[in-house]
Structure 1
């Protein structure tokens, strides 16, 4: 895997627009020029790690998402798997309980 400034710039642009900000407004918020932000969003240059941190905080996202497009952390994936396993156990329990209730009614 490698860092792709173009894709990162498009993610930044998408999040900025989703948050209803112009380039100028967002550039002020992250303490850079709108011209520099435009170049980052077009993938013409890469943002520094400091600026990426500022962008992530300002847009309430993660560096994993900005840089790699990862929407879940390993811990989130682990917890999701645990929840799914518990849901399966609950379904098995319900089926067993329903079966026992059917036997009692018969």
Structure 2
């Protein structure tokens, strides 16, 4: 397994388009120039680690997917959903307790 800047750029471009964002909108959100983003999407430049982390948060994906194209398995996704559901229940319970105070 190796890093392919072209493939990573295409994944970033795909996520941007799926989320209905223009290059300019994403560049502003990431605090980079749209020229830099275009070069990343074409695979001419690779994002920094900090930028990968920002992209991960922006698109709510994993670094594995952004960097090497590994998508979570069904089991991993199911586990993530279970954890999220439990966290939402805990948050609602804490909100109820806070309201009672």
Shared topology, TM-score over 0.5?
A: yes
Instruction: Give 1:62's aligned residue.
Output: 62
Q: Distance in 1 between matches of 2:57 and 2:32?
A: 15
Query: Number of residue pairs matched?
Result: 79
Alignment of 1:1-106 (within 5 A): 1-72=1-72, 76=76
- Aligned partners of 1:55 and 1:76: how far apart in 2? 20
Which entry has the higher C-alpha Rg, 1 or 2? Answer: 1
CA RMSD across the alignment: 2.0
For 1:59 and 1:27, the matched residues in 2 are separated by: 13
Compute the displacement of 1:76 (Å): 1.3
SS in 2 for 1:20: coil
Aligned mates of 2:66, 2:50 — CA distance in 1: 13
Gaps of 5+ in 2: 80-101
Distance in 1 (CA, whole Å) between partners of 2:71 and 2:14 is 14
Stretches of structure 1 lacking an aligned partner (at least 5 in a row) = 80-106
TM-score scaled to structure 1, two decimals?
A: 0.69
Which 4+ residue blocks in structure 1 deviate beyond 4 angstroms? Answer: none
Higher relative contact order (CA 8 A, sep 6+): 2
Question: For residue 89 of structure 2, what is the aligned residue in structure 1?
Answer: none
CA drift at 1:68: 1.1
